[in-house]
Amino acid sequence: MSRRRRTRAGGQSARQSRTGDAGSQPAGREGAQSQAKGRQSGGKLRWYKADLHTHTPASNDYEEPGVSYLQWLTTARERGLDIVAITDHNTVAGVAAIRREIEWLTRLKEENRLTPEERSNLERWLKLANEIVILPGFEFTATFGFHILAIFPPDTSVRKLEHTLLRLNVPEDRLLAGSTETGASTDVTSAYETIVDSGGIAIAAHANSTNGVAMRNFPFGGQTKIAYTQDANLSALEVTDLESRSRRATARFFNGSKTEYPRKMHCIQGSDAHRLNNDPRNSRRLGLGERATELLLPEPTFDAIRELFASRFFDRTRPFRAPEKEVDHLAAARAEGPNQTQSFHESANKKGGRQTVVLADLCAFANTDGGTIFVGASARKGRVKGLAASKQVQAELQQALSERLTPPLEARFEILANSGGEVLRIGVDAGDSKPYCLDGSKFYVRNDAETSLALRDEIVALVLESVGLSSDLVDGGDADDAPASADPAGAGESDGSKAGRSGASGGGRQGASGSDDPFYLPQDGVEIVSSETRGGTAYYVVRNLRNLRSVGNVTREGARKLWNYAIAQYEDSPVKSDQIRWKKNVGYIRSGKRAGKRRFDLALREGSALRVFYGVTSEGMEGAWAQFVEEGDQDGLDVRSE
């Protein structure tokens, strides 16, 4: 094989000399690396530092135009990058320039015409080509200005890359411009499809920020946002808040627990560097490799990255941190606390029933949205207790899972080292064979941070889901029941009476909302749909806004925590329209902390009718509801008296 072939920028043959042992890591990183059995390939995995969003001087907004391409790649390696993608704006001129330079120097060497400086440069190029994987690509500007990263295998020709840009309607006379402005191009989902069809992977660039497909307050419909972030051809979201512990962090929003966003997304971060070094005057202008992602891969190849993004191994990506700032996944999870997809148990002993509690959580997660369980640690602050015999606990749980839970459920087990001892992390996806049952008769579901036995209507809904039928068939009340009035007129009525107003009420979002806007209703919390008094006891139909399933025959005494709160407020503190702080047709009633999390009671005005939503979290407040998050933080517990 000729030297020219071997040294094309990012050439695959150069990559084949890379070894997967820890010794090839940059100095100081050995202690931070971990090796695990490959769950897919059976080989060893290791962490590779990657920056999949970078710019070279080929982008016309590059801030250091005097930088050479050799300087650029040298800096990438000095920053410890194992993988770098070149993603200039709507051009592959940077990729072409690197390849031309290497090919020219190689030709001069073959002709014995190299100067000492050229010989030195060629040696540096060859050394770097064997130390860092270079993935060619571009940052495409789609319709409405949304940015998409298109990344391709190392041996993809410049001609093919430019042909892909032409297919995306980048004008031929703009292929070398490196500009974000290309005129009329291609819509977002068509761009995803074209990139994948051309052999690449599509990643939404800075998705939560300017020109991102998930940016907040952009005036496009909710269905469009869903399509742009859930499309099957989209591999990952690049976000700027990957390390944020905020409840409104992008990765938390796309964790698969929302009805309208059921696909959990791989979230990564990149530098989007338009310079070699950080701008001292603007901390947001990052240098090359200054905001990177670590990927747990069997080898640093394009195929391995594509396979990872197509998998559900979300724990194999993490934000890169220096060794002294390694990501502590357990600490981050404890700071977040128990929620819809996360729980904690200090032990899983058979004695005392702790093993059964863990299995109940696994059953609930499988029946709901999937989730992660930490065994050996509580969510409380303080020292982690840890497990004295973590491998034994894992073996016992795996055996109990196979014996006591039906149908069979696949779970992922991993032992985490911690200063307080070892902790077992168990991950489970939403099951494909619902409903899952513990000990032959117990069906569990997860509601917010609570695991509880499923009620009759919930079990029926799970069965209908498993056979592909709509849970609209389950309402717990009459098919005509609509959300109850905020005034609990039926609470004290005679037997058989029913409160509520006429109008369709269904399990699907459109039936419950009467609108095509997916954010017409809050995304979590509960709503009282109707009530009926029998034998002096009020029975309610309660709608879970997370999945819009309605459950009937709920009493105040037997209700779950949030449901009990909603019924208590409905009965004891009925809301009147003039007590609500209105912003057009949506309103703020009160907010307060419950179990360490701020929750909101909100209202919706539909003509003369009033709907009230109880216990909504900030994570569930999208669209018009998002404006009340700051008000709740400022106003405190109750503003109804204002």
| Alpha-carbon distances of 57 from 100, 142, 175, 434, rounded to whole Å | 15, 22, 14, 53
282 and 219 within one domain: yes
Between 16 and 166, the more confident residue is 166
150 and 7 within one domain: yes
> Which pairing describes strands 549-554 and 537-544: parallel, antiparallel, or unpaired?
antiparallel
Contact, 443 vs 459, CB < 8 A?
yes
Query: What pLDDT is recorded for position 259?
Result: 79
| Whole-angstrom distance, CA of residue 134 vs CA of residue 506 | 52
Name residue, tokens 């090359």: 288
Each residue of 34-72: pLDDT tens digit?
Answer: 333 333 344 589 999 999 999 999 999 999 978 999 999
| Alpha-carbon distances of 352 from 38, 356, 526, 531, rounded to whole Å | 35, 9, 33, 39
Each residue of 528-563: pLDDT tens digit?
Answer: 999 999 999 999 999 989 888 888 889 998 888 889
DSSP symbols for 460-500: HHHHHHHTT--GGG--SS-TTB-PPPSS-GGGGPPTT-EE-
Q: Which residues pair with 528 in a beta bridge?
A: 542
174 and 58 within one domain: yes
Domain final residue, candidates 431, 453, 475: 453
Query: What pLDDT is recorded for position 402?
Result: 95
Residue 7 has pLDDT above 50, yes or no: no
233 and 169 within one domain: yes
Residue 632 has pLDDT above 50, yes or no: yes
Element (H, E) at 114: none
> Residue 355: which pLDDT band, with cuts at 50, 70 and 90?
very high
Please compute the mean of the pLDDT values over residues 11-18 and round it to a whole number.
37
Domain final residue, candidates 273, 294, 327: 327
Q: Is residue 640 part of a domain?
A: no
Reduced to 3 states (helix: H, G, I; strand: E, B; else coil), residue 22 is: helix
66 and 212 within one domain: yes
Q: Is residue 641 part of a domain?
A: no
> Which of 589, 572, 586, 556 is closest to 488 using CA atoms?
572
Local structure of residue 206 (DSSP, 8 states):
T
Query: Domain tally for the chain?
Result: 3
| Whole-angstrom distance, CA of residue 130 vs CA of residue 7 | 9
Each residue of 78-99: pLDDT tens digit?
Answer: 999 999 999 999 999 999 999 9
> Which of 551, 553, 550, 558 is closest to 534 using CA atoms?
553
Domain final residue, candidates 299, 327, 355: 327
205 and 64 within one domain: yes
Distance separating the N- and C-terminal Cα atoms of the chain: 80
> Which pairing describes strands 133-141 and 423-428: parallel, antiparallel, or unpaired?
unpaired
Q: Which domain holds residue 441?
A: 337-453
460 and 439 within one domain: no
Q: Is residue 332 part of a domain?
A: no
| Whole-angstrom distance, CA of residue 178 vs CA of residue 448 | 47
Each residue of 153-174: pLDDT tens digit?
Answer: 999 999 999 999 999 999 999 9
Share of the chain above pLDDT 70, in %: 82
CATH of the domain at 350: 3.30.950.30
Query: What pLDDT is recorded for position 492?
Result: 40
Whether the bond into 407 is cis, omega within 30 of 0: yes
Please compute the mean of the pLDDT values over residues 488-517 and round it to a whole number.
44
> Residue 271: which pLDDT band, with cuts at 50, 70 and 90?
very high
**Least confident range of 30-34, 198-202, 571-575:** 30-34
546 and 416 within one domain: no
Each residue of 279-327: pLDDT tens digit?
Answer: 888 888 999 999 999 999 999 999 999 999 999 899 899 999 876 556 6
268 and 225 within one domain: yes
354 and 243 within one domain: no
| Alpha-carbon distances of 344 from 362, 437, 623, rounded to whole Å | 12, 21, 32
